[in-house]
Amino acid sequence: MIAANKKSEQRSTERLIRQRRIRRVNVDVAGLVVYTSNVSRDGAQLVCPAMRFPALQRQLVTKRVELAIEVPTGREITALVRVRYACPCEDEFLVGIEFESFRDGDAAGWYAYIDWIR
């Protein structure tokens, strides 16, 4: 019984690691590459090292920011986003973004990616 529980725990751990890796995608914001920690159909949470945040902060003060998201399929998705929050968390900043629009056909690519990770 203990061996079966251990094997089940191992599978759960592997699945969580896979999900975390899939949800962690690179995002280019004006030449600065950060990554996501949470994603949804409507937005994402970006993680930026604190020492790089001042460079990113200049981009975030504008009303809208264009960014490029590299999804695991190899496709690059370009979106116009609005920043909802930016808060410090230990040695990094968490930045919440909401999608306003996507470049030609990129919305379908983003939605397909979100459906795929569910």
Is 104 in contact with 71 (CB distance < 8 Å)?
no
User: Per-residue DSSP letters for 25-73?
Assistant: -EEEETTEEEEEEEE-SSEEEEEEEGGGHHHHHHHHTSS-EEEEEE-TT
pLDDT at 95 over 70: yes
The answer to whether residue 18 sits within a structural domain is: no
Q: Which two three-digit tokens encode residue 69?
A: 């998201």
pLDDT at 20 over 50: no
pLDDT at 108 over 50: yes
pLDDT tens column, 50-86 = 888 888 887 777 768 899 999 987 889 999 999 999 8
The answer to whether residue 10 sits within a structural domain is: no
Q: Is the pTM of this model over 0.75?
A: yes
Q: Report the pLDDT value the prediction gives residue 17, as an integer from 0 to 100.
A: 47
The answer to whether residue 72 sits within a structural domain is: yes
> What is the extent of the structural domain holding 31?
24-117
The domain that holds 39 is classified in CATH as 2.40.10.220
The answer to whether residue 4 sits within a structural domain is: no
